[in-house]
Structure 1
Amino acid sequence: MIYKFKSKAAGDVIMMGPSGDQVLRLIGKEPSAKGIIEPAQMPAAMKALEAAIAAEDAARKEAAEDDDAKPGKGDGISLRQRAWPLVEMMKRAHAANENIVWGV
């Protein structure tokens, strides 16, 4: 499934299924074909994403410092990179008191 997050306050954000599922679970939403994030829910959602990003960054740093780590080998796209567009959308939507919806 592909998620297309929409808000009147920002441009659309598109995420592939697994990334969208992960982000929705992190903000306390069950992955589904349709949904809404209301402005009142956005501060807690942004904090949850920032905490998950910080935890992943710390784990990546620890893994990079490990003696077995191979220099130059990429780990793929981080949660920080995948979630950033949605976090920015949430900031704008919250400031404008607009919902974020998907699947509608």
Structure 2
Amino acid sequence: MLIAFKSKSSPEVLMYQEHAQRILDLLHKNPTRGVITAAEAAHALSVLENEVAESKLHPETDVEHDAHTHEQEEGETREHAVLQRVGFAARAFPLLEMLRTAKAENENIIWGI
């Protein structure tokens, strides 16, 4: 299922729920629907930036997490699936940009509404 993050300050950001789940868990938010208020944006940004930095320091943890969410195609080896992974930093980037803009423009981010 897709989650559409929306804000008046940015273009819409679409993510698969299984990829957004890690981000929303870090922010203690419900994946079905919710809001990151303008007041929460600075804290959310800090939490996600710290997790991105941590994932870069410990890429093996990031690989394990993403290898479970990457659908292995028929005939594809696990090694190839791992090489095709998209890391947490890349997945989180669009939402981080949205958070930065929302914070700067004092706007909320909503999804599932």
Question: What TM-score range do you get, normalising by the shorter chain?
Answer: 0.7 to 0.9
RMSD: 1.9
Q: Which runs of 4 or more aligned residues in structure 1 lie more than 2 Å from their structure 2 counterparts after TM superposition? A: none
What is the Cα deviation at residue 50 of structure 1? 1.0
For residues 105 and 39 of structure 2, the distance between their equivalents in structure 1, rounded to whole angstroms, comes to 12
Aligned with residue 106 of structure 2, among 91, 97, 101: 97
Partner residue, 1:76: 85
For residues 3 and 30 of structure 1, the distance between their equivalents in structure 2, rounded to whole angstroms, comes to 11
Partner residue, 2:74: none
What is the Cα deviation at residue 28 of structure 1? 2.4
Partner residue, 2:20: 20
For residues 27 and 47 of structure 2, the distance between their equivalents in structure 1, rounded to whole angstroms, comes to 6
Partner residue, 1:9: 9
The secondary structure found in structure 2 opposite 1:12 is strand
For residues 17 and 40 of structure 1, the distance between their equivalents in structure 2, rounded to whole angstroms, comes to 24
Asked whether the equivalents of residues 4 and 102 of structure 1 are also in contact (C-alpha less than 8 Å), the reply is yes
Give the % identical residues. 34
Asked whether the equivalents of residues 28 and 45 of structure 1 are also in contact (C-alpha less than 8 Å), the reply is no
For residues 26 and 43 of structure 1, the distance between their equivalents in structure 2, rounded to whole angstroms, comes to 14
Instruction: Flag structure 2 segments of 5+ consecutive residues without an equivalent.
Output: 61-78
Q: Deviations over 1:19-72 (max 9, x none)?
A: 1111111122232x21111011111111111111111111127xxxxxxxx9xx
Check 1:93–1:78 CA distance in 2 against 1; reply closer, same or farther (3 A cut). same
